[in-house]
A = this chain, B = another copy of it.
Amino acid sequence: MRTLSPPVGLPALTETDLVGQVARLLTQAVVEGRLAPGSKVVEAGIARELGVSRAPVREAARLLEQQGLLVASPRRGFFVRKFAADDIDDIYDLRLCVERHAAVLAARNLTPETRDMLRRQIDVLHQTADLEDPARQVEEDYRFHRLICEIAANRRLLRLFDDLASEMRMVIGLIGRLYDDPHEIARTHEPVLAAIEQGHPERIVAHIDYHIGHAWREVGKLVREIPA
C-alpha cells in the first residue's frame, strides 16, 4: 500500500554542490572576460579566492574543459581557451547543422502551445531591444534558439546546443558588444518562426541558414578585427 504523500514538484536540493557552483562562477568569469583568453587558471588561486580546497576546483575545471572553455595541458595546468578565426567557423558551422535539424524537428512537433512560446519569446526580444543591455539581449536571443531545440524533443541535441552556446557566449564576450540594431535582430527571428509554422523543410532550412549565417558573418568579421 502506498502511504507516501504524492510529489509536489519541489526541486531536489543539493545543498553542497561545490563543483557545480565553482563551475558556474568560473564560467561567468570566462565568458565575461575577467579571465582573459590564454591566461592561466591557477587552481590554488581560485580555491583560495573561493574559500574551498583545490579538489572541487579541479573537477570544475575539467568540466569546463569538456565544454571547451578551458584547455588542459598536462602538468602545466588549465588555460582559458583562445579562439582563432577557424574555431569560430567550426562552431558556427556546427551550430548551423544542429539548428537546421532542430528547426525541422520542431516544425514536426509544433503545437499551438509551443508556437505561442516562440511567438512570446520574439516579443521579449523586441522588448529587450529597448533596454540598453547587450548581455540580456544575447541571452534572450539564445533562449529563442534554445526553445526550438527543446521543441525538437531530442535531449542529446539540446545538450549539444547548450555546449555550443557556452562557447558562443565566450566568443561574444570577448568581442564586447555585438548588436548594432537590436530591433533589427529581433525582426530577423520572425521569418524563422514563420517558416517553422509553414513546415516546408527546405524553407525552414533556408531561413535558418540566412538567420544564423548573418550572425556567423557578423561575429566572424568582428573576431578578425581583433588582434587575437
A residues apposed to B, CB below 8 Å: 12, 14, 16-17, 19, 55, 58-59, 62-63, 66-68, 74-75, 87, 89-91, 93-94, 97-98, 101, 105, 154-157, 160
The answer to whether A94 and B154 touch across the interface, beta carbons within 8 angstroms, is: yes
The answer to whether B97 and A97 touch across the interface, beta carbons within 8 angstroms, is: yes
Beyond A12-B74, A93-B105, A97-B97, 6 additional contacts (C-beta under 8 Å) are A14-B74, A16-B75, A19-B62, A63-B66, A90-B154, A94-B154
How distant is A21 from chain B, measured CB to nearest CB, in Å? 12
Q: A58-B59, A74-B14 are in contact. Are A101 and B97 (CB under 8 A)?
A: yes
A156 to B93, CA, bound (A): 9
Smallest Cβ-Cβ distance to A60: which chain B residue: B62
Residue numbers in B under 8 Å from A74 (CB-CB) = 12, 14, 17
Interface residue from B12, B93, B157 paired with A90 (Cβ < 8 Å): B157
Residue numbers in B under 8 Å from A19 (CB-CB) = 62
Residue numbers in B under 8 Å from A58 (CB-CB) = 59
- A/B interface sample: 7 pairs, CB < 8 A: A12-B74, A17-B74, A66-B67, A90-B154, A93-B156, A97-B97, A97-B157
The 5 closest A-B pairs by CB, nearest first: A97-B101, A66-B66, A90-B156, A90-B154, A94-B156
Residue numbers in B under 8 Å from A17 (CB-CB) = 74
Residue numbers in B under 8 Å from A14 (CB-CB) = 74
Q: Which of A16, A74, A89 has the most CB of B within 10 A?
A: A74
The answer to whether B160 and A160 touch across the interface, beta carbons within 8 angstroms, is: yes
The answer to whether A97 and B98 touch across the interface, beta carbons within 8 angstroms, is: yes
Residue numbers in B under 8 Å from A154 (CB-CB) = 89-90, 93-94
Q: Which of A17, A68, A87, A154 has the most CB of B within 10 A?
A: A154
A89 to B94, CA, bound (A): 20
A59 to B157, CA, bound (A): 25
Residue numbers in B under 8 Å from A97 (CB-CB) = 97-98, 101, 157
